[in-house]
Each structure stands twice: as structure tokens, then as C-alpha cells.
Amino acid sequence: MNYRHAFHAGNFADILKHAVLARVLAHLGRKPAPFCAIDTHAGRGLYDLAASEATRTGEWRGGIGRLRDAPLDAAAEEVLAPFRAALAAVEATHYPGSPSIIAALARPDDRLHFVERHPEDAAALAALFRRDRRVKVTELDGWLALPAFVPPPERRGLVLVDPPFEEPGEFERLRHGLAKAHARWPTGTYLLWYPLKDVAAAEAFGSQLAHAGIPDILRAELRVGPIRADGPLNGCGMVVVNPPWTLEADLKALLPALAERLGQDQLGHGGGRFRLDRLAAEAAAPV
Ligand code: SAM
């Protein structure tokens, strides 16, 4: 287990992931019934952008650094509002990990379950939320948690699955993990993050999901530079199963603006690129 998110926190990939996560949380918060948010690969929850890990890579400068410079266009900013609210809940010198974003947007009766396998990060996460009665932190293999912790008693909510992709077979684990969890809780919203480095593997993942018999799947991808299997991470994607009905339109407004702002100008067209499509249609309503 070499991966430490502190080196990457706040990079372009976090921006896509956390903007989508925040949007889904805002939607869940519109109905009064409590929800449960499960984060299977949670990290340590909060990252100091002046710490040596962050300054060594400087990745955050190409992500949150660029977003902080100036607002996007009005339509994109409207979509980004919940994410901006979660950013405002932490000090400007820090970047919130997914648990902090979830905690900032959840309400007093919502329940949050964060899972992290690295003992040090799990301990830091538990310390960060020690006074938050909504939060449970479990040091565990997230792949075990994924099927085991669903469905939550609330039967409303989301599962974020954000593995480090440091071991081979992560796409398969993601696909099989989703299939198992979805069989137990078909109405939950699942957010799956993946890297775009091995484009063939990412494409195969998409087409296998499209034929998995799971309805209602949206895919959003962002590329900020040329994609090479042996190069730096320059692209990533999010698959959202059972997205809020507004999410596709939201991402149509947000993704072009994000691609333009976060693109590294190596792709032509003055910025990055995006893709937004449906891997599976909504299930037909019973007649
Ligand atoms: N979700 C976090 C966020 O958005 O702020 C970042 C997560 S980072 C990409 C992946 C995390 O998964 C790392 O903190 C790593 O220690 C942890 N991890 C690696 N293998 C794991 C496993 N099998 N189960 C749970 N956590 C794992």
C-alpha cells in the first residue's frame, strides 16, 4: 500500500470527483428523509496544501489552484455551488478530502460511514471526526465494505468508491464490487472514480458496465493533457449509477468550463476535453 492521497489532493481529478460528489449530496439533501453516505476508500479527510507531500508534486496548482483564481461562467458556477460551499468550510490553506465534503453537505440526521485501510490515514480520519456524531470511521478493506455495508437502514444515499489504482485488476474489482453491492441495494447512488491512463482498459470497463444489466448509468470524463499509459495522470472518469435526474444537465453545464479551466493547453482547442454519455438508460417504468 504505497499510495498516499496527500501527494495528489486538490488535483484536477479531485475536482471532477468532488464536484460530482457535492452535486449528488446537494440533491439528496433536498428531501427531508435522512440519507447515508458511504466512502469506501476515504483517505485522511483533510490535506494541508503547504505540507511537503503537496508541495513536492504541486499537483493541486493545476486543480484547486486554478479554480480559486477566478469563477467559471455563471451556469457552471451554479452547478459548482455545493462544492464551493464545502471548500469554504475548511481553511483556505487546506483542501477537503471526500469525507470533509460529505460532512460539510450532510445534515444533522444523515449518517456517514468512512472506510480506509491505511492505519495512519484511518487514524487521522477518526481524529478529524471524533466530535461528529454522524460519522463512523472503520479501518477496513473497502472492497469488503462495499457489499457488506449496503443497503443502509435509511435506504437512501450514496456510495463513493475511489480506489488508488495502484494494483492490477482494480477495474475488475470496481466492476465486481458494484455488481455485488447493486444486487443488494439497487436504488443506491454509486459514484465510481477511475483513471484514464490505460485507455483500452477504461473503454473496456465502460462497455462491460453498459452490458452488466444495471440500468441508469451516467459517465463523465475529463482530460487535461495527452493520455499515455506511462505518462502522468492527465485524465479521469466518474461513473454514476442511479444519478439524480438533474445531474446530466448539470454536468453539461459544468464539464466544458472545467475542461477549459483545467486543460493544460497541450490538446489543441485551447484546453482540455470532456465526455458525457449514458452507459445504460433508466429502467423502463412498469406498465
Ligand atoms: N476518496 C478520497 C478523497 O476523495 O479525498 C481519496 C482516496 S485515495 C484516491 C485512495 C485511498 O484508498 C487511499 O487513502 C488509500 O490508503 C486507500 N486504500 C487503498 N487500498 C484500500 C482498500 N483496499 N480499502 C480501503 N482503502 C484503501
- Interval between CA 140 and ligand 1 midpoint (Å): 11
Instruction: Tell me: pLDDT of 265 over 90.
Output: no
- Interval between CA 115 and ligand 1 midpoint (Å): 8
Distance CA 39, CA 24 (A): 14
Site to substitute for ligand 1 among 40, 41, 193, most atoms within 8 A of C-beta:
41
Q: Domains of the chain: which residue ranges? A: 5-280
Q: How do residues 56-65 score in pLDDT, each as one tens digit?
A: 999 999 999 9
Q: For 136, list phi and psi in degrees, rounded to 5.
A: -120, 130
- Ligand 1 near 98 CB (within 6 A): yes
3-class state of residue 55 by DSSP: helix
Q: How do residues 149-208 score in pLDDT, each as one tens digit?
A: 999 999 999 999 999 999 999 999 999 999 999 999 999 999 999 999 999 999 999 999
Distance, CA of 270 to chain centre: 26
Nearest CA to ligand 1 atom 12: 41
3-class state of residue 190 by DSSP: strand
Distance CA 199, CA 193 (A): 14
Instruction: Of 145, 143, 159, 167, give the one whose Cα is nearest residue 241.
Output: 159
Q: Which fold has domain 5-280?
A: Rossmann fold (3.40.50)
